[in-house]
Amino acid sequence: MARSTFVYVTYIRTTPEKLWSALTDDVEFMKQYWFGVHCESEWKAGSSWKMVHPDSSITDAGEIVEADPPKRLVIRWRHEKKPELKAEGDSLCTMEIERSGTAVKLSITHTIESEPSQFITAVSGGWPKIISNLKSLLETGAAVLRDPYSAN
Amino acid sequence: MAELHDTDVLFKALADPTRRKLLDLLHAHDGRTLNDLCEHLDMTRQGVTQHLNLLEMANLVATVRRRREKLHFLNPVPLQEIYERWIAKFEKPRLKALGDLKRRLERTDG
């Protein structure tokens, strides 16, 4: 199977609307859980998307394939900086939000048509920390990790 | 039914060698079918299904339907939460204690 995928799921005690906003247009909120990074887009199908770091550099870019607030967001996502990751081309990141009892289930599926994929290895290391921070920020108002490598 | 991941459910899911082996198998190669996983375990298909259900309830395994197949993926998000809640917080004082010990021993030697 020439495809690499990961699927990350978390349950967050919040509303689909708040989660959608945290994943898209709430830039200041995003910086708090994404270690200073934020994404810029109009968040509509066809609009461009880019990931902006605190020093204003852009490492990843692409476009919105599907946007159905507050339920489903699909981003065509390319890494732009490291040549070996850039060479792997487009990946597809799907975020799905659904109510589950008193919480909201967030599923993030990231796929690339190559196996093994250094891109998938690179992003899969970051997502659990980002999602875990997002959960704690939405539920308690405080992010647990300030910097991705602080545990050492 | 999916649960809010309750720490008890999570630790219970981890407290079994077969379930830990399933997590290792998914770590080595993600997106496996039940048949594929059964090949690596000396256990009935029903037994493996039960273990997978417990792992899914604990949110350690996520499943995706692709055509007629159900694929199993390792979901590391709860493990990250265990790491933050139960490891990172204890790690720092220990490393500090080790550093202090090293300094004290080296001082005595010198």
pLDDT of the residue at B1: 40
Let me know if residue A146 belongs to a domain.
no
Q: Which of A75, A65, A123, A73 is nearest to A98 (CA)?
A: A73
Beta-carbon contacts of A77 under 8 Å, excluding residues fewer than 6 positions away, are A49, A60, A61, A62, A90, A91, A92, A93, A110
Closest CA to A114 of A85, A94, A93, A80: A85
Q: Residue A117: which of A88, A83, A86, A146 has the closest Cα?
A: A88
Cβ of B4: how many Cβ atoms within 10 Å? 14
Nearest by CB to B84, from A6, A8, A132: name it: A132
Give contacts of A151 with chain B, Cβ < 8 Å. 83, 88, 91
Q: Which of A1, A100, A129 faces B2 most closely, judged by CB atoms?
A: A100
Nearest to B33 by CA among A106, A1, A108: A1
Tens of pLDDT, residues A66-104? 999 999 999 999 999 999 999 999 999 999 999 998 899
Q: What is the pLDDT of residue B24?
A: 96
Which residues in chain A are contacts of B91 at CB distance < 8 A?
Answer: 151
Residue A142, amino acid? A
Q: Do B31 and A1 touch (CB under 8 A)?
A: yes
Instruction: Give the number of beta-carbon pairs within 8 Å between A and B.
Output: 52
* Distance of residue B50 Cα from the nearest chain A Cα, in angstroms: 20
**Residue A1 with chain B: CB contacts under 8 Å:** 31
Backbone angles phi, psi at A116, to 5 degrees: -75, 165
What per-residue confidence (pLDDT) applies to A148? 58
| Residue numbers in A near B88 (CB within 8 A) | 151
B-chain residues near A11 (CB < 8 A): 2-5, 59
Residues forming a β-bridge with B63 = B72
| Closest alpha carbon to A26 in A10, A9, A41 | A41
B26 → chain A, closest CA residue:
A6
Q: Give just the sign of the alpha carbon dihedral B57, B61, B62, B67.
A: negative
CA distance A54 to A34: 10
* B23 within 8 A of B72, measured Cβ to Cβ: no
Q: Which domain holds residue A55?
A: 4-140
Kindly provide the ipTM of the predicted complex, given to two decimals.
Answer: 0.74
CB contact under 8 A, A105 and B2: yes
Please choose, from the candidates B85, B94, B8, the residue with its C-alpha nearest in 3D space to the C-alpha of residue A144.
B85
- List alpha helices for chain A, DSSP H: 16-23, 27-33, 83-86, 118-140
pLDDT at residue A45, as a whole number? 97
Q: What are phi and psi of A14, to 5 degrees?
A: -160, -170
CA-based nearest residue in chain B for residue A120 = B30
Percent over 70 (pLDDT), chain B: 93
Q: Is B107 helix (H, G, I), strand (E, B) or coil?
A: helix
Residue of A nearest to B31 (CA): A5
- Determine contact, residues A112/A16, Cβ cutoff 8 Å: no
Instruction: Report CB contact under 8 Å: B64, A7.
Output: yes
For A108, the token pair is: 């993030």
**What is the per-residue pLDDT for B7?**
83
Residue-wise pLDDT tens for chain B (110 aa)? Answer: 444 457 889 999 999 999 999 999 999 998 999 999 999 999 999 999 999 999 999 999 999 998 889 999 999 999 988 888 888 878 777 777 788 888 888 886 54
Nearest-CB residue to A10 (from B77, B84, B88):
B77
In a domain, A152, yes or no: no
Count of helix runs (H) and strand runs (E) in chain A: 4, 7
pTM above 0.80, yes or no: yes
Q: Facing residues of A61 across strands?
A: A50, A78
What pLDDT is attached to residue B89?
Answer: 78
pLDDT at residue A93, rounded to an integer: 97
Residues belonging to chain B with any Cβ–Cβ distance to chain A shorter than 8 Å? 2-5, 30-31, 59, 62, 64, 73, 75-77, 79-81, 83-84, 88, 91
What are the CA-CA distances from residue A71 to residues A18, A23, A94, A140, B96 (Å)?
11, 11, 11, 23, 46
Which CATH number do you get for residue A109? 3.30.530.20
Kindly give the parts of chain A with pLDDT less than 70. Answer: 1, 143-152
Number of domains chain A is built from: 1
